[in-house]
Structure 1
């Protein structure tokens, strides 16, 4: 398999992963909306005997949100590493011509 074909496969896999992540995030958004509605209606001062119980419940929800954000950040880092591998050139001249061509298009 040529290097170009390998890179094309990597980019195809990347596109599939991004599509799947979009579907997962859409489902997570719906789930978060339902959880938010439930929390706003059911989690109040009256629902807990002590402030410590309310604090524990709030921290638990917060931890779940932080875990999800950390997972998304790790996913994004892996996608960036894969794209860097695809876009990396073997020869400095290729890199210079790429950057100069890019500057011409941008400028």
Structure 2
């Protein structure tokens, strides 16, 4: 298998991985919407001792969702870094790396600001 074929397979695997991540995030969004509806319809101030307890429970639910989103974001940034490395090594081999980061403007995955 040639190097180009290997890179192509790696990029295809990364794209399938991205698709699966998108499906997971979509499912989490649906789950969050259902949870929101259930919480708004079934949990009221009557179910808690005081307002502080009610606030504590809602913050706990939101923290769980934020942890999932944060984990997915970190995974996306790692994948983006790998793709940048692959694309950067292809540029160097072909001698097209003279004009700076050619693919960085086309595929701004993760970015240097997010690290």
Bin the TM-score by the shorter chain.
0.7 to 0.9
Aligned partners of 1:66 and 1:52: how far apart in 2? 21
Q: How many pairs were matched up?
A: 100
Aligned partners of 2:40 and 2:95: how far apart in 1? 59
By how many angstroms is 1:8 displaced?
0.6
Residue aligning to 1:103: none
Aligned partners of 2:37 and 2:82: how far apart in 1? 38
Counterparts in 2 of 1:58 and 1:33: CA distance versus 1, 3 Å: same
By how many angstroms is 1:50 displaced?
2.0
Higher relative contact order (CA 8 A, sep 6+): 1
Could you tell me the TM-score, scaled by structure 2's length? 0.74
Counterparts in 2 of 1:99 and 1:32: CA distance versus 1, 3 Å: closer
2:9 paired with 1:5? no
2:96 paired with 1:94? yes
Q: Which runs of 5+ in 2 are unaligned?
A: 103-115
Could you tell me the TM-score, scaled by structure 1's length? 0.78
